[in-house]
Amino acid sequence: MKRQADYDATRAELIEMARIDQEMRNESTETGEWDASVDEHNTARLKQIIGEIGWPRISQVGFEAAQDAWLLAQHADADVAFQESCLIAIRQLPADEYRASNLAYLEDRVRVNTGRPQLYGTQFMGSGDEFGPRPIEDEAHVDERRAVVGLGLLDEYRAQMEQFRQRPPERAEPEA
């Protein structure tokens, strides 16, 4: 049986893994260089963590680390079977142990990665005038599904994604 100290160590590790994940992604936006080894390492370690404690619950590792576990699963695109197993594991938890919107994002990611239309419109693609959500199943009811999981309207999300896409990379100011 895990002790709280074990969960505290897992919490710290998940937070650090997510920090490195985000750092690499932010740097790749600036440099154009992608370090796939970050996702490979994080996926392998998240698999081990899930093998040890199951899906990291909010009550075990805290909200931030539970969010970070989801982020790492979301970025495990090279192992869609693992992403699917994470989706199944999260679905089996009580509703207060995860964030419903995270489940929606991972559901869409798995569906897109397996060639199926998404349900919530969280996954976008394209460039220029062709930028927009990947195909959506029953798009006429997408905003209803989004509302159930705490997501705003698809048109609002589309505008946010467009703003994010057009944002120039942040660059550090040179030191004087």
Per the domain annotation, does 85 fall within a domain?
Answer: no
Average pLDDT over residues 59-86: 97
Average pLDDT over residues 6-23: 95
Residue 56 sits in the same domain as residue 2 = yes
Average pLDDT over residues 58-81: 97
Mean pLDDT for the chain overall: 91
Do 18 and 41 form a contact (C-beta atoms < 8 A)?
Answer: no
Residue 103 sits in the same domain as residue 72 = no
What is the per-residue pLDDT across 163-172, written as a single tens digit (0 to 9) for each? 877 765 554 4
* pLDDT value of position 162: 87
What is the per-residue pLDDT across 29-40, written as a single tens digit (0 to 9) for each? 888 888 999 999
Token digits of residue 100: 């419903």
* pLDDT value of position 33: 87
Residue 23 sits in the same domain as residue 67 = yes
Residue 27 sits in the same domain as residue 69 = yes
**pLDDT at residue 174 tops 50:** no
Between CA 78 and CA 60 the distance in angstroms is 27
Cα-based angle 149, 155, 161 (whole degrees, multiple of 5)? 90
Count of domains observed in the chain: 2
Q: Which domain holds residue 40?
A: 1-76
Token digits of residue 34: 């992608």
Residue 53 sits in the same domain as residue 9 = yes
Residue 67 sits in the same domain as residue 14 = yes
Q: Indicate the pLDDT class of residue 176, thresholds 50, 70 and 90.
A: very low
The label of the residue with tokens 């932010």 reads 26
Per the domain annotation, does 175 fall within a domain?
Answer: no
Per the domain annotation, does 135 fall within a domain?
Answer: yes
* pLDDT value of position 166: 74
* pLDDT value of position 173: 47
Residue 7 sits in the same domain as residue 72 = yes
What is the per-residue pLDDT across 92-136, written as a single tens digit (0 to 9) for each? 999 999 999 999 999 999 999 999 999 999 999 987 778 899 999
* pLDDT value of position 171: 47
Residue 3 sits in the same domain as residue 64 = yes
Q: Work out the burial of residue 27: count CB atoms within 10 Å of its CB; fewer than 13 is exposed, 13-18 middle, 19 or more buried.
A: middle
Per the domain annotation, does 89 fall within a domain?
Answer: no
Residue 120 sits in the same domain as residue 151 = yes
